[in-house]
């Protein structure tokens, strides 16, 4: 009797080994990130972090960036790329995209990794290559020479005497009124940080978050919380590498879900210069190479969709900003293509995502007219039937107010 009992005991004891191995594996996968996440950094104020950002001295970077988007787009029929390598637009907007990034003085390369597919953008500063493995196509862009640019500018000036270069509005407009650049150049990093905080003050609460780890490296967190009602952005969190003082992760949290709707950050990063050879590209044999002519608008491949859409700045939609701060709304009116045209064009085009998206957008109407509405966790888009496109990180009501006011 005792012998049998002993045998049964030996039997059950032996099962401890596989259980222990499984436990060790699961334990390391689940607990290791939690243990690694604990960081001990001296406290810093938001102002100190902003000053740190200006003191960053990073000239090169290489690493892996993961874009994790949960925009809550309306669910679409299968919109994976035609070859299913997971590099479609839809994956970038709703899903996880892995990018590999190299950057230094010598150039820039970004590779979007799909399963058995890859899209690369490569530039060494003098030319730009875009490679797509799914259809083995290469787009080669060489910037026009100065002479070509001057000729094009003259031609444009002759055609549209009124057209001039656009002024890009500075974030710090008003803070340094007269000559912003000269005034900013004389500021110390500390003063600039104070200035930035003061400029953000009316619309944004700037705080620090708990120290964290990004790509295994200790990082501080700067949290921007919009105080404007109407915006869909609950907060923007920027992780700043403690050692190199550069942002390594950006998280945008939505008021709709209360969860991060967009996270862009390094999962592994090194601040050493990559081998310059990664910035060169030679189209492989058998690839289709197109070289778009930047000055005439349409590419040599004939992919351009006809007259008037790309080449003539004056006929383009004039953007108009309604509202302030985080709740500001961009209104593109007088768009060349009306909604019906856009739908027809999308149905024609090879991109199934766009046409599926357009038909999935519900019809809405109000005192501003009628159109199609797209609401996501971060962004709302209203395409009115009279050809206006109204976009903002705001809720539907704010968009409709903007639609009424710009009618």
Quick one: which segment of 8-16, 246-254, 312-320, 353-361 binds other proteins (CB under 8 A)? 8-16
- The CA-CA-CA angle for residues 135, 140, 143, to 5°, reads 155
Quick one: which segment of 34-42, 50-58, 278-286, 304-312 binds other proteins (CB under 8 A)? 278-286
Residue with Cβ nearer other proteins (7 or 55): 7
Burial class (CB in 10 A: 0-12, 13-18, 19+), 203: middle
Q: Is 6 in the site for other proteins (CB under 8 A)?
A: no
Query: From the list 283, 299, 304, 310, which residue makes contact with other proteins (rule: CB under 8 A)?
Result: 283
Query: From the list 72, 74, 84, 297, which residue makes contact with other proteins (rule: CB under 8 A)?
Result: 84
CA 109 to chain centre: 16
CA gap 23, 17 in Å, rounded: 10
Q: Is 100 in the site for other proteins (CB under 8 A)?
A: yes
Count of Cβ atoms closer than 10 Å to residue 85 Cβ: 20
Residue with Cβ nearer other proteins (10 or 147): 10
CB of 102 to other proteins, least distance (A): 9
Q: Is 350 in the site for other proteins (CB under 8 A)?
A: no
CA gap 356, 61 in Å, rounded: 38
Q: Is 299 in the site for other proteins (CB under 8 A)?
A: no
Rounded to a whole number of angstroms, the CA Rg of the chain reads 26
Q: Is 14 in the site for other proteins (CB under 8 A)?
A: yes
Query: From the list 287, 294, 298, 332, which residue makes contact with other proteins (rule: CB under 8 A)?
Result: 287
Quick one: which segment of 45-53, 108-116, 203-211, 311-319 binds other proteins (CB under 8 A)? 108-116
Which two three-digit tokens encode residue 248?
A: 């390594």
CA gap 247, 132 in Å, rounded: 29
Query: From the list 39, 66, 83, 156, which residue makes contact with other proteins (rule: CB under 8 A)?
Result: 83
Q: Is 115 in the site for other proteins (CB under 8 A)?
A: yes
Query: From the list 69, 278, 364, 394, which residue makes contact with other proteins (rule: CB under 8 A)?
Result: 278
Q: Is 177 in the site for other proteins (CB under 8 A)?
A: no
Which two three-digit tokens encode residue 392?
A: 């903002």
Q: How many residues does the chain have?
A: 407
Q: Is 11 in the site for other proteins (CB under 8 A)?
A: yes
- What mask, x for binding other proteins by CB under 8 A, covers residues 18 to 37? x--xx--x---x--------
Q: Is 284 in the site for other proteins (CB under 8 A)?
A: yes
Q: Is 134 in the site for other proteins (CB under 8 A)?
A: yes
Which two three-digit tokens encode residue 15?
A: 């099962």
Q: Is 10 in the site for other proteins (CB under 8 A)?
A: yes
Instruction: With CB under 8 A as the rule, give the number of residues binding other proteins.
Output: 42
What region does 334 belong to: left with phi over 0, alpha with psi -120 to 50, or beta?
left
Q: Is 184 in the site for other proteins (CB under 8 A)?
A: no
Q: Is 321 in the site for other proteins (CB under 8 A)?
A: no
Q: Which residues bind other proteins (CB under 8 A)?
A: 7, 10-11, 14-18, 21-22, 25, 29, 82-85, 95, 100, 111, 113, 115-118, 120, 129, 131, 133-136, 138, 268, 275, 278, 281-287
């Amino acid at each position: 009797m005792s012998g049998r009992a002993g045998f049964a005991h030996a039997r059950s004891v032996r099962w401890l080994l596989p259980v222990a191995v499984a436990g060790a594996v699961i334990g390391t996968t689940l607990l290791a990130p939690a243990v690694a996440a604990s960081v001990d950094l001296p406290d810093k104020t938001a102002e100190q972090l902003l000053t740190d950002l200006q003191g960053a001295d990073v000239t090169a970077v290489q690493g892996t960036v993961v874009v994790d988007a949960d925009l809550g787009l309306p669910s679409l029929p299968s919109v994976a790329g035609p070859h299913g390598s997971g590099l479609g637009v839809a994956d970038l907007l709703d899903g996880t995209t892995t990018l590999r990034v190299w950057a230094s003085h010598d150039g820039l390369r970004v590779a979007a990794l799909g399963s058995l597919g890859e899209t690369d953008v490569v530039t060494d500063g003098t030319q730009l290559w875009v490679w797509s493995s799914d259809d083995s196509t290469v787009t080669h862009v060489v910037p026009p020479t100065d002479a070509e640019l001057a000729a094009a500018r003259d031609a444009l000036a002759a055609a549209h005497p009124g057209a001039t270069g656009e002024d890009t509005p500075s974030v710090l407009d008003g803070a340094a009124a007269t000559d912003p650049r000269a005034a900013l150049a004389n500021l110390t990093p500390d003063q600039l940080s104070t200035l930035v905080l003061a400029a953000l003050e009316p619309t944004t609460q700037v705080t620090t978050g708990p120290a964290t780890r990004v790509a295994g490296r200790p990082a501080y967190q700067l949290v921007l919380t919009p105080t404007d009602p109407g915006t869909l952005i609950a907060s923007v969190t920027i992780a700043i590498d403690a050692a190199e003082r550069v942002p390594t992760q950006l998280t945008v949290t939505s008021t709709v879900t209360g969860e991060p709707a967009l996270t862009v950050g390094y999962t592994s990063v090194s601040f050493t210069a990559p081998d310059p050879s990664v910035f060169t590209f030679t189209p492989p044999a058998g690839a289709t190479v197109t070289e778009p002519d930047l000055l005439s608008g349409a590419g040599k491949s004939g992919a351009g969709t006809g007259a008037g859409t790309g080449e003539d700045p004056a006929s383009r939609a004039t953007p108009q900003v309604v509202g302030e701060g985080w709740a500001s709304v961009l209104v593109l009116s007088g768009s060349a293509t009306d909604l019906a045209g856009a739908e027809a064009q999308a149905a024609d085009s090879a991109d199934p995502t766009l046409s599926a998206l357009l038909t999935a957008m519900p019809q809405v109407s109000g005192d501003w007219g009628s159109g199609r509405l797209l609401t996501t966790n971060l962004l709302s888009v209203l395409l009115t039937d009279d050809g206006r496109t109204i976009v903002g990180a705001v809720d539907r009501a704010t968009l409709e107010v903007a639609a009424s006011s710009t009618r």
